[in-house]
Amino acid sequence: MKNFTGPKPNAFRNAEHDPVKRFGALLVQEGVADEDELQRLKDKVDAAINEAADVALASPQPAPETALDFIYSPSVDPTSSEFDTEDKVELSGNPGTMVDLINRCLHTEMKRDPRVIVFGEDIADCSREESLGQVKGKGGVFKVTANLQREFGSARVFNSPLAEANIVGRAIGMATRSLKPVLKFNSLITSGPPITRFANELALMRWRSGNEFSSPVVMRVPVGGYLKGGAVYHSQSGVSLFTQIPGLRVVYPSNALDANGLLRTSIRCDDPVLFLEHKHLYRQAYNKSPYPGDDFMIPFGKAKRVREGSDLSIITYGALVQRSLVAAKQAEQQGISVEVIDLRTMNPYDWNAIAESVQKTGRVIVAHEDTMSWAMARR
């Protein structure tokens, strides 16, 4: 530091470096305005701010009974029968993996609704659109978004910087202008800036504005373990953290069919949704499914009993559904009848399905892939 010849640190805090003052000086220098005009503009802004402050201070406190108003959309209810087409599903075609059916859902929803914009970390087929004809294309590390850019163009499908807070902030702006952003992060984001955007801006947009604004953003995030590489950063679960944020829906499918239906519900609902995709499930043969149709939807808050039992209930989700089924079959050889409930959505829960199962069996295990303390089983 002895040889440092640049400006002293305090110089950067000098009023001469104030961008507002420098811009004013530039306007005068270029003849755009004179000092009197700038002062009148300043006085006008100050008066408007003071008037707004007076109105705010004079406003009455909101009634206590309004505290829970507008946490979620008052007009679009993704837990309703409107979003439940499971009983009418008609499967067709060859079985596809979770990657296949998520990709197909994105294609059909982008065709259905021109407001759907897909962007995020490493989702495009090619960073430079002019090179699309020369390269095979990528569509992400797991190829979940393959060929979306080719079909819908770079205005609707594009890569973002590796900056999660930037991505969420941009999506909030898009959503408040009536677009439907579907984002993708490379891993669960538990650092400060993204969490701030999640909890204080995205999830609370409708509540804080008294239903004047909404942010129906879908955030796709690969999570979970059982794969090599990525270390702790790419194997976190964090479900308990995000289910504590009012206004944020949290979805966690365990198979290809559910992923397709739940993603379609996520895109068509009017609330922000965190859509968790377990990487280990992406291409498993056991969870493949034929295509359920372009209007197949599963409502939020509807669990699925994937195995009947009478002695013990396992409440689980994601990759542990299959592992619980394997364990249940092993327990059956010892004369123990195990019921397995796949929650499918974490916020909201299907409390009725949980209560019905536990009342029947009298014993329960909550199987989760998370930290030992403060995870879903501890809530």
Query: pLDDT 10s per residue in the chain (379 long)?
Result: 455 455 555 555 577 788 888 999 999 999 999 999 999 999 999 999 999 999 999 999 989 999 999 999 999 999 999 999 999 999 999 999 999 999 999 999 999 999 999 999 889 998 888 788 888 878 888 899 999 999 999 999 999 988 888 899 999 999 999 999 999 988 776 556 677 888 889 999 999 999 999 999 999 998 887 777 666 767 777 788 889 899 999 999 999 999 999 999 999 999 999 999 999 999 999 999 999 999 999 999 999 999 999 999 999 999 999 999 999 999 999 999 999 999 999 999 999 999 999 999 999 999 998 777 777 776 6
Model pLDDT, residue 119: 95
CA distance 337 to 314: 11
CA distance 315 to 365: 6
CA distance 88 to 99: 23
| CA-CA-CA-CA torsion sign (77, 198, 207, 241) | positive
The conformation of residue 198, written as its DSSP 8-state character, comes to I
Model pLDDT, residue 133: 80
Amino acid occupying residue 243: T
Beta bridge partners, 169, equal none
Beta bridge partners, 305, equal 341
Model pLDDT, residue 1: 45
Residue 172's φ and ψ, nearest 5 degrees, are -60, -45
Q: Which of 17, 107, 234, 368 is catalytic?
A: 234
The answer, as to whether pTM is greater than 0.85, is yes
Catalytic residue check, 234:
yes
68 Cβ partners below 8 Å, 6+ apart? none
* CB-based burial, 239-253: b 16+ in 10 Å, e otherwise: bbbbbebebbbbbbb
Model pLDDT, residue 377: 72
- Cα separations in angstroms, 224 against 115, 255, 320: 30, 14, 10
Place of tokens 């009478």: 310
CA distance 238 to 142: 21
Determine the 3-state secondary structure of 149 from DSSP. helix
Q: Is residue 283 within 8 Å of residue 98, measured between CB atoms?
A: yes
CA distance 7 to 142: 48
The conformation of residue 268, written as its DSSP 8-state character, comes to H
CA distance 256 to 285: 10
Q: Is residue 253 within 8 Å of residue 277, measured between CB atoms?
A: yes
